[in-house]
Amino acid sequence: MERNQLIAIVVVVVIVGSVGAYILMTPPVLTGQTIVTETIGNPKYMDPHANYETRGSHVHYNVYETLYTYEWDSLRTDPVVPLLASDLSISSDGLEYTFTLREGVTFHDGTPFNASCVKYNFERMLATFDPSGPVWMVAEPIYGGQAIEDAVFGGTHADHVGNYTAWKAQNDAGTGALTVTSEYEIVIKLAYAYTPFLAAITYEVGAMISPTWVEAHMGIIVGSHTTYIDLHTCGTGPYMMTEWVMDERVVLRRYEDYWRADDAKTLFPYAGTIDTVIIKTNEEVTSRLENILTGDSLGIYLPATHAYELYNNVSPPVFAANTGTYQSLNPAIKIWAKYPTFSIADIHFTMSDIINEATLGKTIENPYRLKNVRQCFSYAFDYQTAIDTVINGFGVQGQGPIPQGMFAHNYSAYQYPYDLEKAKDSWNAAMNDDGFQAILNNNSYHLVLYYNTGNEVRRKCQLLLKDGIMAMLEVDGAIQPTETLTIDVVGMEWSSYIGAAIDGTVGCWMIGWAPDYADPDNYASPYVKSTGTYGYWARLGESAGWNAAQVDGWIDDAAVETDIAERERLYGLVQDAIIEHAGYIWVYQATSLLVVRHNVYNAQYACNPMHQCYFYHVHITG
C-alpha cells in the first residue's frame, strides 16, 4: 500500500485502509498527553504467557509485542501485518515457519531483540505452562509440544520436567521445534500442518519478554511462573507498565526508544502523543458514566444494561462512515454500537462429583454433576428476556461454542428454549432417578449462582436464572424439595472469581469468551476439550456420561484437517455433543458497544473482534 505525502503550506495526509479513506489536516504537534479510561476488575497476571483474561491482555497488547499482528486501521481478523517479524515463509507441507526478524528493536531494559530471544520465549511458554493459561494453543501444534501438554494435564511435575528437558535439548541440537539459523532468523517446526498457527501466536501468549530481565528474576522455572513477572512487565511495545495498584489502576508510560515511532506516523500521524495511560478500576457504572460525561475519563466500559443512557438506538452504519457521532445521544460522546463480534457469554457449570463450595464453606456433593439438573437450568433460563432487557438487544441467543458468522457454526444445532415444562421434567428426573433430593440435603437446600462484581449483565442473568428455577418449582407436578430451597446470587471480585473458577469452588458461574484467534478451534478447544481452559475448569473430563477421548479426538482431528467439508462435519459433532450434555448455558453472542469522549481519535478500531484499544495510535484534540 503506497502513500504519498504532499508538503505545502498545509500538510494533507490521505490515509487509505480496508475500511475506507479519510483525510486529516495536520494540527500543531501534540505531545505529552494523558488518557484516563475506566473499566472493571483487575488483571490476573502481567505475565502474558500465563494470563488468560481480557483485562490483563489489554495491558499486554500495549506493552508487549508478537511476531505478527492485525491491520491497525481495519476490522480484518487475520494477522497479516509483520510486527517483530519482518517476513515469513511457510514450507509447502505447512510444517516449517521461517521468520525473518526486525533489526534495531530493543526491550524496555535495553536488551536487543533477536532470534535467540524468540527461541527463549517459546521455550519459556512450554516450561512455565500454567494449565489454566493460554500455552495450550502453542504446545499442541508445535513439534514435540504435545508430550509436554500431556505431562501438564495428565502427568506429574517430574513428567513435565523430563519431557520439557528432552524437548529443549532437541532445540539446542538443531533437530527440534526451534532452530536459530542466524541472528535475525528462526525456524519454528510444527508437528502437523495447522492453519491457525500464526493467528494463535498473535494472541498475547506469543508476546516476547526480555530474556535478560527474566533471568534477573529467577529465570525459567519448569511448571511455574514467578511472582515478580506476574506483577511487572518488560516488553518491546510502545508502553511500559510503571504502576499496578490492585482495585485502583494500571499506569502505562510511553517507551522513548520505541522502534515503530516513525513508521507508525505514516498511518497515524499523531502516533505517540499519549505519554501516559491510566486504566482505572471502577466497579460503579453510574460513577463511570458521570466521569465520562464530565471529561474526567476519556473512555469507559459501558455495559449494555446502561447503553441507552448514551446510545440513540440508530442501527450501525457502514463502519468506515461512522465517526462515532451517528449513534450518540450526546455530542460530547462517541459511540460505536451493535457491530458484530465473536464474543460469547455463557453460564458455566463445574461438573466434578464433589465441590468445596466457596460460599457454603464446606465440601458438598455437586448438584451440577447431574445432567438433568444442568438441562433443567438450561430450560429455566429466559434467553429472550436476557437479550431484550438485560443486554438491551446487544446480542443474539447463543447456539453452542462456535459463534455465528464464523466458519463451522452450525445454525441447525439445538437451542434450549425457555420452557418451564421441560425444565420441570428434567428437575423431576433428577429427583426421581439421580438422588437429587439427597444432594440438596447435603447442600443444606442452598444453591449459589455466581458473577463477578461490577458486571451488571452477569448479575442480572444469574438473577434471571434464579427466577426461572423458582418459577419452575411453581409448575404443576414439580417435585418439591423436602425443605425450602434458597438460591443466592453472589458477586466476587474479578481476580478472586477467576481463581475460584480455576479451583472449582464455584458450581454455577457466568463468564464470556473473546477470541484469541478467529477460528473454530479457538472455541472448541477451550470450551469442549477436556484439557481446554473452560473444559478443564469445568472438570468436563470427570463429568458422568462425557466421552472425553472421543470428543477430544474430534477436536484434534478438526485442527489438522485440510478438507473444509470434513472439518465442518467434525466441528458439528463437537457442538452437538456439548449442547446435548448441557455443559454450559449458551446465553448470548454479543454485539459491540464502544464509548469514548468526542475528542478521542482512532479508538474505534477497538471494535475489531481480535483486539482492544491500542493507545499508541490514539490522540486527543481540544
Q: Tell whether the model's pLDDT for residue 26 goes beyond 90.
A: no
DSSP, residue by residue, 315-368: PP--GGG--S-TTBSSTTEEEEEEEEEEEEEEEEE---SEEEETTTTEEEE-GG
Give the pLDDT of residue 359.
Answer: 83
Whether 612 and 54 have beta carbons less than 8 Å apart is answered as yes
Over residues 102-115, the pLDDT tens digits come to: 999 999 999 999 99
The three state secondary structure string of 500-543 is HHHHCCCCEEEEEECCCCCCCHHHHHHHHCCCCHHHHHCCHHHC
Give the pLDDT of residue 4.
Answer: 31
Tell me how far apart the alpha carbons of residues 121 and 50 are, in angstroms, rounded to a whole number.
12
Give the pLDDT of residue 1.
Answer: 29
Q: Tell whether the model's pLDDT for residue 57 goes beyond 60.
A: yes
Q: Looking at residues 256-263, what average pLDDT do you find?
A: 96
Give the pLDDT of residue 465.
Answer: 98
Whether 354 and 364 have beta carbons less than 8 Å apart is answered as yes
Furthest C-alpha separation in the chain:
85
Over residues 86-104, the pLDDT tens digits come to: 999 999 999 999 999 999 9
CATH topology of domain 38-263: D-Maltodextrin-Binding Protein; domain 2 (3.40.190)
Tell me how far apart the alpha carbons of residues 564 and 558 are, in angstroms, rounded to a whole number.
9
Q: Looking at residues 339-355, what average pLDDT do you find?
A: 95
Tell me how far apart the alpha carbons of residues 472 and 364 are, in angstroms, rounded to a whole number.
24
CATH topology of domain 342-589: Dipeptide-binding Protein; domain 3 (3.10.105)
Does an H or E element contain 151, and which? Answer: helix 145-154
In degrees and rounded to multiples of 5, residue 492 shows phi and psi of -135, 145
- Whether the CA torsion 17, 22, 25, 29 is positive or negative: it is negative
Find the range with the poorest average confidence among 183-192, 243-252, 496-505, 605-614.
605-614
pLDDT band at 433 (very low <50, low <70, confident <90, very high): very high
Q: Looking at residues 550-579, what average pLDDT do you find?
A: 94
Q: Tell whether the model's pLDDT for residue 260 goes beyond 60.
A: yes
Tell me how far apart the alpha carbons of residues 125 and 220 are, in angstroms, rounded to a whole number.
9
User: Identity (one letter) of the amino acid at 547?
Assistant: N
Over residues 268-325, the pLDDT tens digits come to: 999 999 999 999 999 999 999 999 999 999 999 999 889 999 999 999 998 888 999 9
Residues 6+ apart with CB under 8 A from 170: 144, 176, 177
Task: State the CB neighbour count (10 A cutoff) for residue 91.
Answer: 13
More confident of the two residues 420 and 23 = 420
Q: Tell whether the model's pLDDT for residue 9 goes beyond 70.
A: no
Report the percent of the chain where pLDDT is more than 90.
85
Nearest to 577 by CA among 540, 536, 528, 525: 528
Task: Give counts: helices (H), strands (E), the chain.
Answer: 20, 23
More confident of the two residues 254 and 20 = 254
Tell me how far apart the alpha carbons of residues 527 and 537 are, in angstroms, rounded to a whole number.
10
More confident of the two residues 178 and 608 = 178
C-alpha atoms less than 13 angstroms from C-alpha of 222 in its C-beta half-sphere: 17
Kind of pairing between the strands at 333-349 and 584-597: antiparallel
pLDDT band at 21 (very low <50, low <70, confident <90, very high): very low
pLDDT band at 409 (very low <50, low <70, confident <90, very high): very high
Over residues 450-501, the pLDDT tens digits come to: 999 989 999 999 999 999 999 999 999 999 999 999 999 999 998 899 999 9
Q: Tell whether the model's pLDDT for residue 8 goes beyond 80.
A: no
88 beta partners: 99
Report the percent of the chain where pLDDT is more than 70.
95
Give the pLDDT of residue 212.
Answer: 98
Residues 6+ apart with CB under 8 A from 613: 37, 58, 299, 603, 605, 606
Domain range annotation of the chain = 38-263, 342-589
Over residues 354-388, the pLDDT tens digits come to: 999 888 788 999 999 999 999 999 999 999 999 99
Whether 191 and 143 have beta carbons less than 8 Å apart is answered as yes
179 DSSP 8-state letter: E
Task: State the CB neighbour count (10 A cutoff) for residue 150.
Answer: 15
